[in-house]
Amino acid sequence: MSIRRNPYSIDVIVPCYQEQDALPITAPKIAAYFRDLVASPSNDAMSFRLLLVDDGSKDSTWGIIEGLSEANPEIEGVKLSRNYGHQAAMLSGLSLATADVVVTMDADLQDDIHAVSAMLDAYESGADMALGVRQDRSSDSRGKRGFANAYYRLLRLMGVNIIENHADFRLMSRKALAALLDHGEVNLFLRGLIPTIGFSVMLVPYARQARVAGETKYTIGKMLRLAIDGITSFSVAPLRYVAFVGGGVFLGSILSGIYVLCVRLFSPQTTVPGWASTLLPLLFLGGLHILCIGVVGEYVGKIYLEVKRRPRFIIAERTKSAE
Ligand code: UDP
Ligand code: MG
């Protein structure tokens, strides 16, 4: 399938949260890379815009973005009113995209920018999405790698269709982007939504680099939040498991009731020796109860957030909003 597409424009979306150490190094590199791409005759890219989204940083990230925007005609800054999280920040950039093609990537250049040219090749030959897939996770900490592996296994168990080792480094055509933006959900897990959209998808392998500067902005809390969103936004399996466990426990209690009755009726012994046999099941059942209510509560909470239809992000400021 070799459909050469007409010359196209590119919007590059980069969410930035507390990236004052990385941005001064990475943004010029990203801009230079796309400048070369546009100038190169080997593809049909004709122009690009780098959209830096400040996700409510408290450090000097916004000042840096303003400076970059002033000095470079292709760079534009968008400031969100507070920290909405990586997914919402990316979505805000995507919703402002006007180009034929959008590329999303992290601000720390962990996503190997050289994979973009393979993504453009995929687009030029007809793909509507090109997804960056990490080949190598050695730049991640051992804990993070273990967490990721266990999480992918859990997702599969829950029946969530996800492309393994694809995070948020991807190219989308205008058509695929429009389809993605049609999804109005508040609980965002973009990498889970992507496989549900369809269209022709190509995978582009790349080696995950180490962070250029600064620390990871994904705290354990943020990672857990995203992980829970990933499961509860796409699968009702946990609710089903809870029902199964509840059924099992109910059956167990009936059997033990029969046993107690038999002992009472047919055994001469009338006192129950030891307290452990009473206390342990009590604690176990109590804990199980609270856990199950928690799982159900997680879904009820999701419904609560969805029905309110609150905006998923609020834009406070833009550097080149006049155009
Ligand atoms: N990020 C964001 N909002 C947040 C946390 C992170 O926009 O609340 C951005 C961050 O600036 C970076 C990207 O999301 O561009 C990925 O974050 P990070 O590199 O810290 O995560 P890691 O690569 O360690 O998983
Ligand atoms: Mg990173």
- Which one is predicted more confidently, 280 or 130? 130
Please give the torsion angle defined by the CA atoms of residues 281, 285, 286 and 290, in that order, rounded to the nearest 10 degrees.
Answer: 160
pLDDT recorded at residue 191: 83
**pLDDT of amino acid 3:** 56
Coil, strand or helix at 273: coil
Q: What percent of the chain has pLDDT over 90?
A: 39
Of all protein residues, whose CA lies closest to atom 7 belonging to ligand 1?
86
- Measured between alpha carbons, how far is 9 from 96 in angstroms, rounded to an integer? 14
Ranking 35-49, 69-83, 136-150 by mean pLDDT, the lowest is 136-150
Mean pLDDT of 239-250: 82
Closest C-alpha among 192, 201, 260, 199 to residue 228:
192
In this structure, what token pair is assigned to residue 107?
């601000």
Q: What phi and psi, each to the nearest 5 degrees, are found at residue 236?
A: -105, 10
**Which pLDDT value is given to residue 227?**
85
Please enumerate in sequence order all residues whose Cβ is within 8 A of that of 231, keeping only pairs 6 or more positions apart, or say none: 154, 155, 158, 160, 237, 238
pLDDT-based confidence at 104, cuts 50/70/90? very high
Helix axes 174-181, 190-197, angle to 10 degrees: 120
Rounded mean pLDDT of 180-198?
Answer: 84
Beta carbons of 274 and 208 less than 8 angstroms apart: no
Q: Looking at residue 272, what is its pLDDT?
A: 63
The pLDDT assigned to 9 comes to 92
Q: What are phi and psi of 86, to 5 degrees?
A: -50, -50
Ligand 1, residue 110: give the atom nearest the CA.
Answer: 23
Report, as an integer, the average pLDDT of 38-65: 91
Confidence of residue 322 (pLDDT cuts 50, 70, 90): low
Of 294, 152, 303, 144, give the one whose Cα is nearest residue 223: 144
Ligand found nearest the CA of 107: 1
Closest ligand, as measured to the CA of 167: 1
Q: Which candidate, 235, 216, 200, places its Cα nearest to that of 123? A: 200
Q: Which two tokens stand for residue 117?
A: 């040219």
Band of pLDDT at residue 1, cut at 50, 70 and 90 = very low
What is this structure's pTM?
0.79
State the chain's mean pLDDT as an integer. 86
Give residue-wise pLDDT tens across range 149-171.
Answer: 888 888 888 888 888 888 899 99
How many of the other CB atoms lie within 10 Å of CB of 197? 17
**What would the pLDDT profile of 57-70 be if each residue is shown by its tens digit?**
999 999 999 999 99
CA nearest neighbour of 38 among 17, 61, 60, 12: 12
Q: Which two tokens mark 114? A: 């050289």
The string of pLDDT tens digits covering residues 257-308 is 788 778 777 877 666 666 667 777 777 788 788 888 888 888 888 888 888 8
198 has a pLDDT exceeding 50: yes
Provide CB contacts within 8 A for 90, sequence distance 6+. 13, 15, 53, 104, 168, 190
Ligand 2 ion: nearby residues, β-carbon < 5 Å: 106, 108, 110
Report the percentage of the chain scoring pLDDT > 70: 95
CA 163 distance to own-chain centroid = 12
CA of 247 relative to ligand 1 center, distance in Å? 42
CA of 148 to the centre of ligand 2 (A): 14
Helix (H, G, I), strand (E, B) or coil at 183: coil
Which residues sit with their C-beta closer than 6 Å to ligand 1? 15-17, 19, 55, 83, 85-86, 89, 106-108, 110, 216-218
**pLDDT score at 323:** 54
308 versus 72: which is more confidently predicted?
72
Q: Residue whose CA is closest, atom 16 of ligand 1? A: 106
Coil, helix or strand at residue 22: coil
In this predicted structure, what is the pLDDT of residue 2? 47
* Dist. CA 242–CA 249, nearest whole Å: 10
Shortest-distance Cα residue to atom 19 of ligand 1: 216
Q: Which atom of ligand 1 is nearest to the CA of 106?
A: 15
Range 181-194 average pLDDT: 83
Higher-pLDDT residue of 134, 323: 134
CB 80 within 8 A of CB 54: yes
